[in-house]
Amino acid sequence: MKRKNLLQSFSASRRELLRRSAALAGGIAAASALPRAALAARENELTVYCWEGYNSDKVLDPFRTEFDCDVRAQGLISDPDAVNQLRAGDTRIWDVINLNNSWGRRQLYPENLIVPLDQERFRPHWDMMLPEFKWPYHWAMSEDGKELLGNIQRFGPSGMNVDTNVISVEMAEDQGYNLILEDDFAGKYAVLKYDDWAIMHTALAAGFSPFRKLTEDEIGRFEQVMRKVITNAAFVSDDMNAIALGVINGSISASFPGSVYTVSTARFDGNPHFTCVVPKNGPAELGGKNGVCWMELTSLVNNPQLSPRGADFLEYVLRPEVCKNVAFAEGTFNPVAQMGDPRVMEQFSTEELDAFQWDRMPELMARCADFDDIPDYPKLHAIFTTALREKGV
């Protein structure tokens, strides 16, 4: 089957996306500042702040029609930035927030930035889940286990992506991130500039977990590895499709970090040689795990005028056909936790399952530690931004 070139279709830079999104956010903020009398009843409007996919018209247009609702959505590329926006008062703007798993349990709910879901309404939908996400899945629950904080839906493993025409899966798994750090590999890979992900994987490459306080010696080691990773990269980009095109045209042969998510569009576009690999033999403190797996949590914001359509949207995205649209939105292909339901699985073709490496998913996930808080994030991020500045990025 001949497909259009999805990479060409969806290779607009994320910075440009943010510029467009900022204009949208400004418009939403202006509306939220109007007197209450000037605001229409919120049952006919909904605002969504999310990782790309939930803001797809493929997902939103049927909801708009069915619920006769004006839905405005903004994409995000940084969990910490989004959380800080809510802390700064943007709870009055958004109804739905979609972030990686740890933020709801560790930050958003304890800081009263999200509200719990109605368990009587949402718990029955957990029958759809894959076994590893069975009720009560801890990342969806409050620390005391009493409150349901949101839907778990998209998920996936993250390590590095390689061109298997150049680097075998076995070599990448065995050598791991040391492959990136070899001097003769300089100029042969790109760095994906997703801040927290680059920081987490650099810590793994340095030999320790990013999910605890680090010693001064470890921070020094992190800085050494980060500088080398950035300095020796062919280029640094926050556009995963630009990196994929670099692999396809042969200018690079790997991406650090890289995930099933960032390689799936290229694979579906006819490039199965571009593959996500999670290296073996990670830090002993993580049980040898050498990647990070993420599970998105979609929650209701503690908006003082929360739209009732927010809960409707969270339930809507659990319909089998919408699960497929969320999983396979334009430019972003991911498995979803609801694939434990045969009605969801039957939505996917063999070709679509191969795009996100479904056959290797259990193996890849087993090599990953769960995404979690990074206690030394400010220090590590400062090192990261310094290395980028020195690179001229």
For 350-363, the pLDDT digits (tens) are 999 999 999 999 99
How confident is the model at residue 41, as a pLDDT?
62
Confidence grade of residue 314 (pLDDT, cut at 50, 70, 90): very high
- Tell me the mean pLDDT in the region 100-107: 97
Same domain, 348 and 229: no
Give me the sign of the Cα torsion angle 64, 66, 69, 71.
Answer: negative
Q: Which residues neighbour 35 within 8 Å (Cβ) at sequence distance 6 or greater?
A: none
Instruction: Name the E strands within the chain.
Output: 45-51, 70-76, 96-100, 114-115, 151-163, 189-192, 235-237, 254-259, 274-277, 291-301, 328-329, 332-333, 368-370
How confident is the model at residue 356, as a pLDDT?
96
Give the domain extent around 66. 6-155+295-352
How confident is the model at residue 13, as a pLDDT?
40
192 neighbors 235 (Cβ within 8 angstroms):
no
Segment 251-304, tens digit of pLDDT: 999 999 999 999 999 999 999 999 999 999 999 999 999 999 999 999 999 999
Same domain, 95 and 213: no
Q: Quick one: tokens of 283?
A: 């830090």
How confident is the model at residue 251, as a pLDDT?
97
Instruction: Indicate which CATH number applies to the domain containing 196.
Output: 3.40.190.10
Same domain, 285 and 343: no
Q: What angle do CA 2, 322, 101 make, to 5 degrees?
A: 105
- Mean pLDDT score of the chain: 91
Residue 57 has pLDDT above 60, yes or no: yes
Confidence grade of residue 367 (pLDDT, cut at 50, 70, 90): very high
Q: Quick one: tokens of 13?
A: 């830079």
Residue 8 has pLDDT above 70, yes or no: no
3-class SS of residue 36: helix
Provide the percentage of residues in the chain whose pLDDT is more than 70: 90
- Please give the DSSP secondary-structure letter assigned to residue 95: S
Same domain, 103 and 74: yes
Same domain, 126 and 201: no
Confidence grade of residue 305 (pLDDT, cut at 50, 70, 90): very high
* Cα(58)–Cα(190) distance, integer angstroms: 31
Give the number of domains in the chain.
2
How confident is the model at residue 253, as a pLDDT?
98
How confident is the model at residue 7, as a pLDDT?
53
Does some domain include residue 364? no
Beta-sheet pairing, 332-333 with 328-329: antiparallel
Q: Comparing 16-20, 91-95, 156-160, 226-230, which segment has the lowest mean pLDDT? A: 16-20
- Tell me the mean pLDDT in the region 182-205: 96
Does some domain include residue 1? no
* Cα(62)–Cα(57) distance, integer angstroms: 8
298 neighbors 96 (Cβ within 8 angstroms):
yes
Confidence grade of residue 331 (pLDDT, cut at 50, 70, 90): confident
Same domain, 185 and 232: yes
Confidence grade of residue 15 (pLDDT, cut at 50, 70, 90): very low
Same domain, 92 and 181: no
Q: How far is CA 345 from CA 81, 127, 151, in A?
A: 34, 14, 18
Residue 46 has pLDDT above 90, yes or no: yes
Segment 33-45, tens digit of pLDDT: 433 433 446 899 9
How confident is the model at residue 272, as a pLDDT?
96
